[in-house]
Amino acid sequence: MKIRFTKYQGTGNDFVMLNNLNGNYDNLSIDSIQFLCDRKLGIGADGLIKLSSSDSYDFEVEYFNADGSQSFCGNGARCSIAFAKEIGVIEKETFFHAIDGPHKGSVENGIVRLEMLPVDRIDVFGNDFFVDTGSPHYVHFKQDSDIDIVSYGKVVRYSKEFEKEGVNVNYLIERSNSCIEVETYERGVEDETLSCGTGVTGCALVFMQKKGMENGKISVNTKGGKLMVEAMKNGDGFDNIWLSGPAKKVFDGVVND
């Protein structure tokens, strides 16, 4: 099958984007998704996104990790908004649906803002934290003596607690009262990614809670670029959560599956 695709990246998180408004790729197999995301044999990406039509929303985002598993992806959703604008589905603002529910978003001057779903609580694991921002994230405040994120991520991800469902693992480094750095090991990719939208959001919320912040903006540096997280405290959790940053087209292409 001939597949027409567009490659996008959001702070180094890269995706194969498929225009599925006409249902051309409804039956795309897991094997095909794995092939397309393969960096040696296929196009190469952290994940694949099908942008499909919806009766109730502007569009539907179907996100697949590189191994073919499905989840919500913050940077993938932001790239989907930019892609939807490129192919004429939206102009500036949007209301779309993803695997975790409905989301609002907007795009202007290359910056894409995405409203994340509310987070009810942040759980404590000893000195570490667990938060679900559409995908599950384990957050550890990095120490100088800590091993690299891939080695540490595998230990946590394949631990008895998380082995069955999997978990994304994050190092959080404080730089100031309003700036942090984040490193992420992603399940489904099973490696470090240059950026992770849900991970960045989770780390920012953990940081805000630890600092006792009721609301604010946290600047987040990743290896792939800078993102911004805005949120307001609500009981034990947060709402009015927005993730913003660049989303850029890389190239168009055609591949035979």
For the stretch 163-201, pLDDT in tens is 999 999 999 999 999 999 999 999 999 999 999 999 999
Calculate the dihedral angle through the C-alpha atoms of 198, 202, 208, 209, rounding to the nearest 10 degrees: 150
State pLDDT tens for residues 151-170. Answer: 999 999 999 999 999 999 99
Architecture of domain 2-112+247-256 in CATH?
A: Roll (3.10)
Give the Cβ contact number of residue 133 at 10 Å.
28
**Which residues of the chain form beta strands (DSSP E)?**
2-10, 13-20, 47-52, 60-65, 93-98, 101-108, 111-116, 123-125, 128-132, 136-141, 168-176, 179-186, 191-193, 215-222, 225-234, 237-246, 248-256
Residue of 37, 79, 196, 203 with catalytic role: 196
Q: What is the DSSP string of 52-76?
A: E--SSSS-EEEEEETTS-B---HHH
Q: Are the beta carbons of 253 and 43 closer than 8 angstroms?
A: yes
- Specify the CATH number for 123-245; select among 3.40.50.720, 3.40.50.2300, 2.60.120.560, 3.10.310.10: 3.10.310.10
pLDDT in the model for residue 257: 82
Are the C-beta atoms of 213 and 234 separated by less than 8 Å?
Answer: no
Is 203 labeled as catalytic in the residue annotation? no
Q: pLDDT-derived band of residue 66, with 50, 70 and 90 as boundaries?
A: very high
- Active site annotation includes 179: no
Check 73, 79, 179, 203 and give the catalytic one.
Answer: 73
- For CATH 3.10.310.10, the residue range(s) in the chain are 2-112+247-256, 123-245
